[in-house]
Structure 1
Amino acid sequence: MTGTIEARLAELGLTLPSAPNPVANYVPYAVTGNLLFISGQISKAADGTIATGLLGRDVTVEAGQAAARLCALNILAQAKAALGDLDRIAQIMRLTGFVAATADFADHPKVVNGASDLMVEVLGDKGRHTRAAVGVASLPMGSAVEVDAIIAIAG
């Protein structure tokens, strides 16, 4: 039986990918008390392809938002791996979005909205969160976007 959040994902036509494995010496998530910390998730699709490039040069804001949505789906996949059930999410507390961009690109918040919007679409008010959107020169594997998360666990 699927939970409420997984039913909402299905209703939106979204499928969670398998939780990605770390690409270096770190863990994908850690729990302390009622907080779940999820390591940065890059813009990797379920088929293994990665949305790559620099915003302001070869990636549009819209494509960057789609890349950020992939990051958010990977965050939810890690949350499911950590918690066993997405309905244990009490609140998305914080998202930090990193956008690979040219020095003159200034629309980082618009790009990271792709992740923020997905969280609210899927989780409703539980998806509303604090956030930072930061521009960087490059990201792992050439990814266009990376997002990490802090999530409050119910119960």
Structure 2
Amino acid sequence: MNAARDAAAARVVVLGADRRLRAARADRLAAHYRVPRRAAADILAAPCPPPAGYVVDAAPRLLARFAGAGGPPPALAFADLMVHLRTVVGGVGDAYRAIRYYEARGVLVGFRPDVPDEELYVVIEAALRERRGGPPGARP
């Protein structure tokens, strides 16, 4: 596998209730993986999301909107990993049902908002290896 090419194809969704934290994290992830930052609604509403890498940031209520319209889209259809910056643990409603749906499928991982970027890189790269069938010790 070509590590630079595969890492550049990372499709990451950053979720969180705090817009500034979420946007800053999405900007840093996009810069790190050298992929564009895209609008969440464009990715989630597209019949076929772009295959190339991207980072989007979205409020959990956006997931609720899609969950309420016929159920959440298939987990791996638009993201290799969803990073949930948890400012509140738990919750009720469509947004948290959607979060639990993706978490149960192994696509969503929750972090404290102050987690170092390097920890996210490790988790994202592990998710990429798993999705693409690479050996456990290999870089994506």
Structure with the higher strand share, 1 or 2: 1
Please state which structure has a larger fraction of its residues in helix. 2
> How high is the TM-score relative to the length of structure 2?
0.29
Q: Which is bigger in relative contact order (C-alpha 8 A, separation at least 6)?
A: 1
TM-score scaled by length of structure 1:
0.27
